[in-house]
Amino acid sequence: MTHSNQVPIATQLHSIKTNWTTGGLFKNKEYFIVLSNNYGIPDSPAKSRVDHDLKTEINVVENLYSNSVFETAFKGICAASLIFAQSAVYAQDYTPPAVNADDYTQSPYFKGGKLDSNFNYYDNGDFANNNILWTPVFKGGGGTSISQTGGQDLNYYGGYVRPLVAKPELGELFLGAQQVLQGDRISSEMQGEYRLPSGWGIGGGFVDRSQSKQDAKFASVSYKNQWQDIKYQVTMQWQRFDEKDYGGGYIAAYNKEWMLSYGNDGEQWRSTLGYVAPQITEKLRPALEVLYVDNSIGKIGADKTLMVSGSLGFSKGFLSHEARMGRAMGPTGMQFSNPLGYLNTGTDPTFNRRAEAWELGGLFNFRYINSSDASGKPRTETFEANLFPAQFFDIDNLLSSVFIGGGLTNPNGTTPYKSTQAKTDQAGVSGSMGYIKRFGAVDTNVRLQHDFDVDDTQVYVGAQYWL
């Protein structure tokens, strides 16, 4: 193949922008991540214009605090995502003379990626929004939770970049940074890992919370390989949490069907069991995940959480082994396939959705969460399920995308199932209906949920554009 003199997607996909307008220290400042595709021949005038645009966009982000290590690092990660994503695309051959969006998505650097946005609205006026850019080169996003009842608004943003994705012979490197802002409270996290082509990796990071003693520093050495059809990873780590040092480690092994993991970092231990059945019929493929996290072994916190998720119609995504690795290997696990860290709780949320993700599969989906908080209050149990009735009768029109469901929460208090009008320890029974449907390259998800005990209604709208 030869390069065309045309600018392939300059008019069709000039840029994809993810905009975060944050509160707190960075109020009214906008952070942009731009994947600009105005490229043509390397070193062409079109490329020069792209380079100028990238520099201009990066300079838009003002350095409000020159001594802010975190903000400077976050800008660097954003810039790296632009530069390396662009260089990765330059390395590809394109089919002349006409290139459209469908051809563009065949690039291994963007294929399978998505733009994901969702919106939650409650009866009392509270609402939340979350936006994600998810590609093999960069995974990041941001969101906000707005209170109309006197509570403090919450803003968060972050991202992970894999700059060596176009040079696998050099190994694998990824860098990540996240931040949560709520009033005067600031929680920040940075982490990174480099892995040699041989499978050996070294990484580390830190967490800083402005109004808490639960700061952390950590480092790890890991080895990843495959034996026959079994992939495995072994990690040894050191962690300093609340000025105390801990040793620990994690191990995970999986094949196409089963996955098992266990780990202990001194403050918590966790274990995961996952199963993805072979395809039984066109729609029937059961999948299950059991995740248990116990923080009672540490000096801080005593909360325990059991989360069981399942589907009769597995469709990759949340219940896949690759996504499960992020949950299985703990907050220091550093898995780019599903990047999760310390900032992944109701108090410190991130762009990476967990408990509110209902794109589990088809036919029948369920989720059960059993948890206790750090104060030792009684456990909160939540069970929710949804059913796609038409799929059981091989109906392939719009009705096959419609689901009905319900939930039980006792007491009503597990985010995000918490009713905004529920009293402390008040139980809840809810019903829901909606649809999950793909139109071309866009998955749409609409859910209406009503809690009958407290007469509270939640509206959820989501969309995913597959690149």
* CATH number for the domain that contains residue 199: 2.40.160
Q: What is the pTM of this model?
A: 0.74
SS3 338: coil
The neighbouring-strand residues paired with 410 are 381
Which of 314, 310, 302 shows the shortest CA–CA distance to 377? 302
Tell me whether residue 382 is in a domain: yes
pLDDT in tens, 284-342: 999 999 999 988 877 666 788 899 999 999 988 889 999 999 889 888 888 888 888 88
Which of 270, 278, 273 shows the shortest CA–CA distance to 324? 273
Q: Does residue 170 sit in the same domain as residue 202?
A: yes
- Choosing from 71, 86, 104, the residue where a domain stops is 104
- Residue 345: pLDDT band (50, 70, 90) is confident
Summarize the confidence of residues 59-65 as an average pLDDT.
37
Find out whether 323 and 352 touch, Cβ atoms under 8 Å.
no
Q: Does residue 90 sit in the same domain as residue 236?
A: no
What residue numbers bound the domain in which 28 lies?
17-104
Tell me whether residue 109 is in a domain: no
**Mean pLDDT comparison of 41-50, 97-106, 137-146, highest-scoring range:** 137-146
Summarize the confidence of residues 90-111 as an average pLDDT.
47
Tell me whether residue 197 is in a domain: yes
pLDDT for 301 equals 65
Rounded to the nearest 10 degrees, the angle between the axes of helix 69-90 and helix 45-60 is 160
Q: Which residue's entry shows tokens 């199963």? A: 275
Q: Does residue 62 sit in the same domain as residue 165?
A: no
The domain tally of the chain equals 2
- Residue 15: pLDDT band (50, 70, 90) is very low
Tokens representing 414 are 């597990």
Tokens representing 292 are 């248990």
Q: Does residue 428 sit in the same domain as residue 331?
A: yes
How distant, in Å, are the alpha carbons of 84, 288, 327, 372, 411 from that of 376? 47, 29, 24, 6, 14
Q: Does residue 217 sit in the same domain as residue 288?
A: yes
Tell me whether residue 4 is in a domain: no
Dump the DSSP string for 382-428. EEEEEE-GGGGGT--SGGGGEEEEEEEEESS--TTT--TTPPTT--E
Residue 85, phi then psi, degrees to nearest 5: -65, -40
Q: Does residue 91 sit in the same domain as residue 234?
A: no
| Distance (Å, whole) CA 185 – CA 347 | 11
Q: Does residue 330 sit in the same domain as residue 405?
A: yes
Q: Does residue 60 sit in the same domain as residue 138?
A: no
